[in-house]
Amino acid sequence: MTTKSDVESVKILPSNNQDITSEVPKLLLCSSITSVSDPGSNEGITSLAGIGNEYSELNWYYLYLSNKEMKRYVSVFSGRKAVKLRAPSGAIEDRFFCFKVFSYTATDHKKRFEQCAYTKEEYAIRRDAARAVKDAFAADSAEKLNTLTDGKDIVGNGWLFVCAPLEQLELILSAMLPRQYLVTDYNTHRAAVIPQSQMEEFIYLYESMPYNIELLSRPLEAYLQKKQRIRITGGVFSGKEGCIMRLHRNTRLVFAFGNMTVAVSYLHAFPFEKVE
């Protein structure tokens, strides 16, 4: 249950060092340039859990990191490396955290496009990846989900998504140098939030069908003008609202993901209704 104190505990975070430039499909530059966020993206924060546990029923936050920093923060957030924190006594101690993490880089996405082969072997790889995502979320296991990121050869700058209590994320970020910041929401000026269900959708689609996703570089309102707004009524995107448009000769569903903009192809696979 969300409490008033939980919502008020979210602090305003700077959004510098969040720029990304690339011609390949990518995430929105930063939530600070969009004013249309996905419904539920900035709900209150759930109660905190203890250090060293796997955290369930928490929202996801994200930050933009260089390639070197990406690998470093993945190790810290997934519990493989300790972070040095000052204890109440004044002594410096090593503390371990175990959060769910997922990394995305434009380089990795481009590589998946280039290496995509329409073969039985490729189909088997994507099928196994989809099963691994489903199993990880069904088991609510940080260890299983983090293997998707641990197994990557992370190349290039990109985005690190982390599911953790906001208070502990701020504690870790303030203790590590150079200082990194969570992406903030344009409207609330609080840390931008991606609910669990949305993050599961994104990871599932990215791991199983990366060639069906395009992460757009403009805010959602830029695509809503003079477009028919629709609502998905079935499947994993049930309740999702967005617009229908043609991109690269294919009909896409364009919608907000947290404070980002995502286009998914093969819209005919999802039942939908028009929104007046």
When pLDDT is cut at 50, 70 and 90, the band that residue 9 belongs to is: very low
What pLDDT shows up at residue 218?
A: 80
Is residue 35's pLDDT more than 50? no
Per-residue pLDDT of 129-148, as tens digits, reads: 888 888 998 998 999 999 98
Report whether the peptide linkage leading into residue 178 is cis, meaning its omega lies within 30 degrees of zero: yes
The answer to whether 20 touches 64, Cβ cutoff 8 Å, is yes
Cβ neighbours of 275 (radius 10 Å):
11
Of 55-69, 121-135, 167-181, 262-276, give the range with the top mean pLDDT: 167-181
Neighbour-count burial of 126, counting CB atoms closer than 10 A to its CB (0-12 exposed, 13-18 middle, 19+ buried): middle
Is residue 45's pLDDT more than 70? no
When pLDDT is cut at 50, 70 and 90, the band that residue 191 belongs to is: very high
pTM: 0.70
Is residue 197's pLDDT more than 90? no
Which of these, 177, 182, 184, 163, lies nearest to 72 by C-alpha position? 177
What pLDDT shows up at residue 132?
A: 87
